[in-house]
């Protein structure tokens, strides 16, 4: 894909300057590093990671990159003595490196830093493109699917842990803290876990606060602190009779399960989304097709992997699903008068269907 991209734009190199906090950088290099470093892929076969000298040995052992260079290897310290300013010296060193490899035009992703772009365009043509690794990441390898499955299992255990505190009617903040502390103790990281009750749950991303009322939406999307992959899992918990909320939940459960049955290799993502909209509308609820501002007001799902939101997007797109894609299916209904409900599973596309990675009862009733 990189070679094709370079040929399309008549460029010699694709260049990233990022840390492993950037999912595309981590995916392409396999190297965990806190501060940004340079990664260069070339049409001539260049596969080069430039790191601080102190990181060179670790990069050689841990990264997937063919060639590792330290800053000292490519003349950074000589440039620092000449230019005095570290940023200018770094930019000049990178420019000299690219020129020495015959670069005339390079491609950079949209998050490439401006200080480097403005320096490099003095002698190179620089074009900004969507990071090709974003699309490559959409189809998961078998080892990636196993990692996501592992996180999905702990997400369910964290949900059950949280149920203990919901039964005790602890406040939303307490339940969230208990879930996130539990996950951290198991080597997973969760931030802004949604434990939302009452009318606040009418906002899909409100994390929740205050007393647990008649129902609560729990959305847990942890990340492994070991390998960096996420999973995503949501259930709506019923605690007291609430006719409107229960009817909304039943509709979402039906929509989710019908949508899951449509998922297979070759199906358009829009077909999955439209299935959800059709069912919710059949039950008398608004969807985005009504532009009502209430009801089903978000996409059916999103890819999940090194980021909690990545490709594919399960919405009104012309994208075809491919075996190995991992994403969520999460119908929700939100009305300011009553609050909101959502039910969400993470699934992986198979040739003739899909596998649910978060198998759990759809209806959680604590009445």
pLDDT of the residue at 267: 97
pLDDT of the residue at 290: 86
Fold observed for domain 142-365: Creatine Amidinohydrolase (3.90.230)
Q: Measure the CA–CA gap between 212 and 203, rounded to whole angstroms.
A: 16
Return the structure tokens found at 216: 């609560």
Residue located via tokens 């060639």: 67
The CATH homologous superfamily for domain 2-136 is Creatinase/prolidase N-terminal domain (3.40.350.10)
CA distances from 149 to 163, 231, 259, 308 (A): 21, 7, 20, 14
pLDDT of the residue at 109: 98
- The segments of the chain whose pLDDT lies below 70 read none
* Largest Cα span, the chain: 74
pLDDT of the residue at 145: 98
> Which residue, among 299, 310, 269, has the nearest Cα to 204 in the 3D structure?
299
CA triple 100-106-111, angle to 5 deg: 125
Query: Where are the chain's structural domains?
Result: 2-136, 142-365
Domain 2-136 and domain 142-365, same fold? Reply is no
Q: What is the pLDDT of residues 257-276, one digit of tens each?
A: 999 999 999 999 999 999 99
CA triple 123-128-130, angle to 5 deg: 150
pTM over 0.85: yes
pLDDT of the residue at 292: 82
């Amino acid at each position: 894909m990189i070679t094709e991209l370079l040929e399309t734009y008549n460029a010699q190199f694709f260049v990233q300057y990022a840390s492993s906090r950037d999912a595309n950088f981590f995916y392409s290099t396999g190297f965990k590093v806190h501060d940004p470093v340079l990664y260069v892929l070339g049409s001539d076969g260049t596969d080069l990671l430039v790191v601080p000298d102190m990181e060179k040995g670790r990069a050689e052992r841990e990264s997937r990159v063919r060639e590792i260079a330290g800053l000292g290897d490519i003349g950074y310290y000589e440039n620092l003595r000449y230019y005095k300013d570290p940023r200018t010296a770094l930019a000049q060193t990178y420019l000299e490196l690219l020129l020495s490899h015959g670069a005339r035009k390079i491609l950079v992703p949209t998050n490439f830093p401006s200080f480097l772009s403005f320096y490099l365009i003095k002698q190179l043509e620089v074009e900004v493109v969507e990071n090709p690794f974003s699309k490559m990441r959409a189809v998961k390898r078998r080892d990636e699917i196993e990692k996501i499955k592992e996180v999905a299992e702990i997400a369910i255990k964290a949900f059950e842990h949280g149920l203990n505190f919901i039964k005790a009617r602890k406040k939303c903040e307490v339940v969230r803290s208990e879930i996130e502390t539990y996950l951290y103790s198991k080597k997973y990281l969760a931030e802004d876990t949604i434990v939302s009750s009452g009318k606040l749950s009418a906002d899909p991303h409100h994390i929740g606060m205050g007393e647990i009322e008649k129902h609560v939406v729990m959305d847990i999307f942890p990340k492994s602190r070991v390998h960096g992959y996420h999973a995503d899992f949501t259930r709506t918990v019923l605690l007291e009779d609430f006719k409107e909320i229960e009817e909304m939940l039943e509709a979402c459960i039906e929509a989710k399960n019908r949508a899951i049955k449509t998922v297979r290799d070759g199906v358009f993502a829009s077909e999955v989304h439209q299935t959800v909209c059709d069912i919710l509308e059949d039950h008398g609820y608004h969807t985005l097709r009504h532009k009502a501002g209430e009801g089903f007001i978000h996409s059916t799902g999103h890819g999940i992997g090194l980021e909690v939101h990545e490709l594919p997007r399960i919405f009104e797109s012309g994208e075809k699903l491919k075996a190995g894609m991992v994403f969520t299916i999460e119908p929700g209904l939100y009305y300011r008068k009553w609050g909101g409900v959502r039910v969400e599973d993470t699934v992986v596309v198979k040739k003739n269907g899909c596998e649910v990675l978060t198998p759990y009862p759809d209806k959680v009733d604590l009445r």
